[in-house]
Amino acid sequence: GAVVSQHPSWVICKSGTSVKIECRSLDFQATTMFWYRQFPKQSLMLMATSNEGSKATYEQGVEKDKFLINHASLTLSTLTVTSAHPEDSSFYICSARDSEQIQETQYFGPGTRLLVL
Amino acid sequence: TQLLEQSPQFLSIQEGENLTVYCNSSSVFSSLQWYRQEPGEGPVLLVTVVTGGEVKKLKRLTFQFGDARKDSSLHITAAQPGDTGLYLCAGVSTNAGKSTFGDGTTLTVKP
């Protein structure tokens, strides 16, 4: 149980294009999902908290117009990197919390590797 | 802002050795998770500890949550090359919401 998927697993795009990454909880409902960015050999950097049916909460320094988050259902959150530039190249990981669990454990997706040329 | 200090940052040992990774904070957490991550993949949950003083075992891995729920440790006995990876601890604040992640411990176990 508690499986989270991400799609795509990797993407290469040209500078200036937009890229959408999907995060799905496959066997549980998640009112809260999180989006992280990770640089090589470093820990996770929280970008935003995605709440089903409401606006995402962004961390300080993360541009909400640059990283659009939509959490339209209890099993799906999407992150759109708009007008991507090479500095946006990174490993993006989402996580989800099981709404029915008392423990607030996060279950992570496999990550999406983004390379902007 | 809650901080979670994880140590050591890097650890390289020989197969068969024991090791301990620590996570320390001045803040109290309602729960704490340990994850293991391999390159190019997402973190995989190892354990969640909730009760102060709680000890959980997962084969050769022993996890302990401090009595005050401010710190935790991960002990690996007789490490194997398959244990190589990035180990992350994450504490959930008592007033719910976000998790605070440690900076991670990169473990390399040499055969």
B96, A104: Cβ pair inside 8 Å?
Answer: yes
pLDDT for the residue numbered B96: 59
User: Quick one: closest CA in B to A40, which residue?
Assistant: B39
Q: Is B96 on the interface with A (CB under 8 A)?
A: yes
Is the bond leading into B8 cis (omega within 30 degrees of zero)? yes
pLDDT at residue A79 tops 80: yes
Q: How far is B60 from chain A (nearest CA, A)?
A: 22
Residues making up chain B, counted from first to last: 111
> CB of A74 within 8 A of CB of A30?
yes
Q: Which range has the worst mean pLDDT, A53-57, A76-80, A103-107, B28-32?
A: A103-107
**pLDDT average, residue stretch A48-72:** 92
B41, A110: Cβ pair inside 8 Å?
Answer: yes
> CB of A107 within 8 A of CB of A33?
no
Residues in contact with A20: Cβ distance below 8 Å, sequence separation at least 6, in sequence order: A78, A79, A80, A81
For residue B90, being part of any structural domain is answered with no
pLDDT for the residue numbered A40: 85
> CB of B23 within 8 A of CB of B35?
no
For residue B57, being part of any structural domain is answered with yes
Domain of B38: which CATH number?
2.60.40.10
**pLDDT average, residue stretch B15-26:** 97
Is the bond leading into A8 cis (omega within 30 degrees of zero)? yes
For residue B86, being part of any structural domain is answered with no
User: Whole domain around residue B33: which residue ranges?
Assistant: 5-78+95-110
User: Quick one: closest CA in B to A37, which residue?
Assistant: B42
Distance CA A32, CA A30 (A): 5
For residue B88, being part of any structural domain is answered with no
pLDDT for the residue numbered A61: 93
For residue B83, being part of any structural domain is answered with no
pLDDT band at B103 (very low <50, low <70, confident <90, very high): very high
pLDDT at residue B9 tops 90: yes
For residue B102, being part of any structural domain is answered with yes
For residue B58, being part of any structural domain is answered with yes
What is the SS3 assignment for B52? coil
Distance CA A87, CA A82 (A): 13
> CB of B107 within 8 A of CB of B60?
no
pLDDT at residue B19 tops 80: yes
pLDDT at residue A107 tops 60: yes
A110, B104: Cβ pair inside 8 Å?
Answer: no
B30, A104: Cβ pair inside 8 Å?
Answer: yes
DSSP, res A71: E
> CB of A34 within 8 A of CB of A23?
no
Q: What is the mean pLDDT of chain A?
A: 93
Distance CA A38, CA B67 (A): 31
A105, B97: Cβ pair inside 8 Å?
Answer: no
Please write the tens of the pLDDT for every residue from B58-100.
Answer: 999 999 999 999 999 999 999 999 999 999 999 998 775 678 8
- Residue B102, strand partner residues: none
Name the domain count of chain B.
Answer: 1
The amino acid at B110: K
For residue B85, being part of any structural domain is answered with no
